[in-house]
Amino acid sequence: MLPQELLKKHFGYDHFRPKQAEIIEHILNKKDALVLMPTGGGKSVCFQIPALLMEGTCIVISPLISLMKDQVDALKANGICAAFLNSTQSFAEQETILEACQKDEIKLLYVSPEKLLTDLEVILQRAKPAFFAIDEAHCVSSWGHDFRPEYAKIGFLRDRFQGIPFVALTATADKITRRDISKQLNLQNPKLFISSFNRGNLSLDVRIGIKPKQKIQEIVDFIHSRSTESGIIYCLSRSKCEELSARLREAGIDAGYYHAGMNADDRAQVQEDFINDELPIVCATIAFGMGIDKSNVRWVIHYNMPKNMEGYYQEIGRAGRDGLPSETILYYNYADMIMLNKFASESGQAEINLEKLKRIQHYAEADSCRRKILLYYFSETLDENCGNCDVCKNPRKHFEGTVLVQKALSAIARMGEKEGAQMVIDVLRGSRRTEILEFGYDKLKTHGAGSDISAIDWQRYLMQMLNIGVLEIAYDENFALKITAIGKEILFGKRGVELTILPILAAKGKQVREKIAQPKVVPEDELFDHLRKVRRDFAMRENVPAYIVFSDATLQAMVVAKPKTAEDMLHIAGVSEHKFSRYGQAFLDVILDFLGESLSKKGNTYRETLLLYQRGLGPEEIATYRNVSPQTIYSHLAYLYSKGNISTLDNFVAWDEVEIIKKAIGVIGESKAMKPIFDYLNESVPYHKIRLAMAVIEKEESIREAQL
């Protein structure tokens, strides 16, 4: 069978993604390869399909037990014989797996480097290697962001197995790490395959200088506006994970925490609950990452600045693996920079870690397209601005900042360049705290020279000055701010400087911070809710994560296409022959019912909503009780009102809102579609209000026509 036929049969896709077919052919020709492909880009298919076509077993070296289990479950769901070996299995279980390998019944065997090194001879006696696939290969390099010493010990395998190919795969590796991977694994003339790192479905947003209290409130508001979505919040410290999780729970948000200080059972339970959609949100250190193969994570927030671009890219890559739109937010402030510089300076590879930190700092401070900077780091260029980062959506403007910068530089110089940022800001703002009076800083000419600028904005301006090379930090002198050669030229009037206007709204001299951007609300189709419930039933029955049954992207494709036959269903991306035989008919039945071919079932769903409403439950409570979205319940209420089952919708849509919708319809013309109205009103009225108002308007018109 040809590779493309296997792709369709087992994975349900008609075409390979870029580079996949080329990589597969290269492996089948028994040549070594180094594959760089972004998270969610389809790395696994590159070695899974050759495994089906080659004699013997593909030995997959993978770092985490949880990651192995997920991948094996996914392969089995696609009708592919796969297994993993680890220390949690009994001797009998391992013997059964090795015996199946010996009979060539298992095509992919996942094993950790530790297990492989410990039981190498036993495994190789029973499982004839077709080739070796080293997943998360950046772990082999001490230059990488997630070095694992055990990985560095497996390079001898290449010399031992001269006749079979080795393929190393990773989602994140800069040039120095790529070279080190090839060297450490002893790869033989490996061909480098680099797929585009452009994850266009991920929005990129950086928020600078937000105070802790406001940051938490922003995150709470963000999550409340996405109540059905799953997300990860990355924190630098274990204590912050626990603290933030507690704050979110106080705000009524179901959030757990995960870090290396927890015992193994507790960590495993959190990860399992998250993957199985039992726990929607996890506050975690970077320890929570590589084992997450969950395809429907809709957002990732970095509560603190990441240590480097590789880690940042891999962590945001946990979102939107199914290709659907997803959001990422990075919070960045001066305190993070100080802390991370301290960590980097004290690390075993201080020079390179400090340089990597500068690159992520440059990204966070950028006033040009962030995606261009991110891709350039991985040796990829983007011709056009992405249009899906905060800089592209709100292009930065600049102002003549020479006088402002001179005030700061003068204060720093007059204090002998021996104070840190907080003291400089306090002096500029005219603080009279005890320490300033003791040092005599209140007598300086610059004391109070910047009192018209808030402390938080001074912090952000100082960060800009650091970023453009006007200032530098003396980390070995208690983080004192020092003036650079460029800074001295500005201080003495030999050159000017422009600064970026901070993202604020100016109103009569007062600074009003912009509110957190609300997401565009897209009405969730009732059919998607029904399909998701069926998927959840299968997942619980088979004890696998829901996305292994079908991804959100596949369910959305079903919603759009509304297949009516088995043949139609097999044309949906992600529906393989094996998955259709296992699950397909149940999903097809739901779609047919929704389309009205079983009217009684559709009638029951409205009746169930009506009964709960008559008991006094509100729309949100009904949605929770029925495990559907609030949007669906509002749609039900609009329908029930139009049919006379409900006498009024006044509790849910105000009369002036109805009038606004009525005027909008008058301008754009009669339409059953809500999006034109939503767009015409500049997204100021949510979809569910539009739906309810349209029901009121239709009812008015029908009454008026009856009276004529």
Q: Which amino acid is at 102?
A: Q
Angle between helices 585-592 and 526-542 (to 10 degrees): 160
Domain containing residue 129: CATH number = 3.40.50.300
How much is the pLDDT for 517? Answer: 42
Average pLDDT over residues 276-293: 80
d(CA 65, CA 564): 40
> Is the C-alpha dihedral spanning 235, 238, 240, 244 positive or negative?
positive
| β-bridge pairing 281-284 and 398-400 | unpaired
How much is the pLDDT for 509? Answer: 33
Q: Is the pTM of this model over 0.85?
A: no
Same domain, 403 and 444: yes
Highest mean pLDDT among 284-288, 358-362, 569-573: 569-573
Q: Predicted confidence band at 260 (pLDDT cuts at 50, 70, 90)?
A: confident
d(CA 94, CA 458): 62
Cβ atoms 208, 463 nearer than 8 A? yes
Q: Which of 290, 317, 280, 291 is nearest to 302 (CA)?
A: 317
Same domain, 50 and 151: yes
Cβ atoms 408, 450 nearer than 8 A? yes
Find the radius of gyration of the CA atoms of the chain: 29
Give the domain-ending residue among 140, 163, 194: 194
* Residue 506 counted as domain residue: no
Same domain, 79 and 140: yes
Angle, CA of 421, 426 and 430, to the nearest 5°: 150
Alpha carbon separation from 155 to 57, 63, 159, 183 (Å, rounded): 19, 15, 8, 8
* Residue 512 counted as domain residue: no
Give the domain-ending residue among 153, 177, 194: 194
63: left (phi > 0), else alpha (psi -120 to 50), else beta?
Answer: alpha
d(CA 387, CA 615): 47
Dihedral pair phi/psi, residue 654, rounded to 5°: -75, 160
Q: Which residue has the tokens 């049969």?
A: 9
Q: Is the pLDDT of residue 598 over 50?
A: no
* Residue 521 counted as domain residue: no
Per-residue b or e along 311-331, where b marks 16 or more CB atoms closer than 10 Å to that residue's CB: bbbbbbbbbbbbbeebbbbbb
Average pLDDT over residues 251-269: 90
Same domain, 24 and 59: yes
Same domain, 543 and 645: yes
d(CA 515, CA 387): 20
How much is the pLDDT for 506? Answer: 33
Average pLDDT over residues 470-487: 84
Structure tokens at 351: 């020079």
How much is the pLDDT for 290? Answer: 56
Q: Which of 79, 63, 111, 110 is nearest to 580 (CA)?
A: 79
Cβ atoms 202, 327 nearer than 8 A? yes
Structure tokens at 520: 């565009």
Same domain, 320 and 449: no
d(CA 618, CA 626): 12
Residue with the larger pLDDT of the pair 64 and 189: 189
Domain containing residue 480: CATH number = 1.10.10.10
Same domain, 318 and 442: no
Mean pLDDT of the chain: 85
d(CA 520, CA 653): 20
Q: Is the pLDDT of residue 575 over 60?
A: yes
3-state secondary structure of 556: helix
Cα of 617 vs its chain's centroid, Å: 34
* Residue 133 counted as domain residue: yes
CA atoms within 13 A on the CB side of 649: 33
Q: Which amino acid is at 621?
A: E
Q: Predicted confidence band at 416 (pLDDT cuts at 50, 70, 90)?
A: very high
**Residue spans of alpha helices (H) in 185-296:** 212-224, 238-250, 264-275
Q: Is the pLDDT of residue 350 over 60?
A: yes
d(CA 364, CA 380): 19
What DSSP letter does each residue of 17-69 carry, written as one string?
Answer: PTTHHHHHHHHHTT--EEEE--TTS-HHHHHHHHHHHSSSEEEEE-S-HHHHH
> Is the C-alpha dihedral spanning 322, 326, 331, 337 positive or negative?
positive
Q: Predicted confidence band at 432 (pLDDT cuts at 50, 70, 90)?
A: very high
Q: Predicted confidence band at 52 (pLDDT cuts at 50, 70, 90)?
A: very high
Dihedral pair phi/psi, residue 221, rounded to 5°: -60, -40
Domain containing residue 702: CATH number = 1.10.150.80
* Residue 83 counted as domain residue: yes
Q: Is the pLDDT of residue 672 over 50?
A: yes
Q: Is the pLDDT of residue 451 over 50?
A: yes
Domain that holds residue 625: 526-707
Structure tokens at 622: 């009904």
Same domain, 78 and 119: yes
The pLDDT > 90 percentage for the chain reads: 36
How much is the pLDDT for 706? Answer: 65
* Residue 518 counted as domain residue: no
**Structural domains of the chain, count:** 4
* Residue 410 counted as domain residue: yes
Question: pLDDT tens digits for 237-259?
Answer: 899 999 999 999 999 999 999 99
How much is the pLDDT for 423? Answer: 94
Same domain, 164 and 251: no
Same domain, 369 and 223: yes
Same domain, 580 and 487: no
How much is the pLDDT for 291? Answer: 58
* Residue 514 counted as domain residue: no
Structure tokens at 653: 């849509």
Angle between helices 630-642 and 619-626 (to 10 degrees): 120
Give the domain-ending residue among 440, 465, 500: 500
Same domain, 108 and 251: no
DSSP state at residue 580:
I
